[in-house]
């Protein structure tokens, strides 16, 4: 697993996430020139983090609809 996914998983659990994300479903996506890390489980998206230019992950409450598709 790459570094951004590991950091996203750690941030998710530190924030009190109770549902278990699938280790295979964490993915990096790019849309409109921005990078995102998407954590999913079997049912839905659990969390979306935007990767800022300085490498910091920011959890999003609302995320682009393009990230909904697999």
Residue 11, both tokens:
């941030």
Predicted TM-score of the model (pTM)? 0.87
Q: What is the pLDDT of residues 7-65, one digit of tens each?
A: 988 898 898 877 887 767 778 899 999 999 999 988 889 999 999 999 999 999 999 99
The per-residue pLDDT for 19 is: 80
The residue extents of the domains of the chain are 3-61
The per-residue pLDDT for 70 is: 61
Residues ≥6 apart with Cβ < 8 Å to 59: 11, 15, 47, 48, 49
């Amino acid at each position: 697993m790459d570094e951004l996914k590991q950091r996203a998983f750690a941030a998710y659990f530190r924030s009190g996430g109770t549902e278990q994300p699938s280790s295979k479903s964490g993915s990096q996506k790019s849309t409109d020139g921005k990078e995102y890390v998407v954590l999913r489980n079997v049912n839905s998206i659990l969390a979306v983090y935007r990767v800022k230019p300085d490498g910091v992950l920011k959890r999003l409450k609302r995320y682009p609809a393009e990230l909904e598709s697999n």
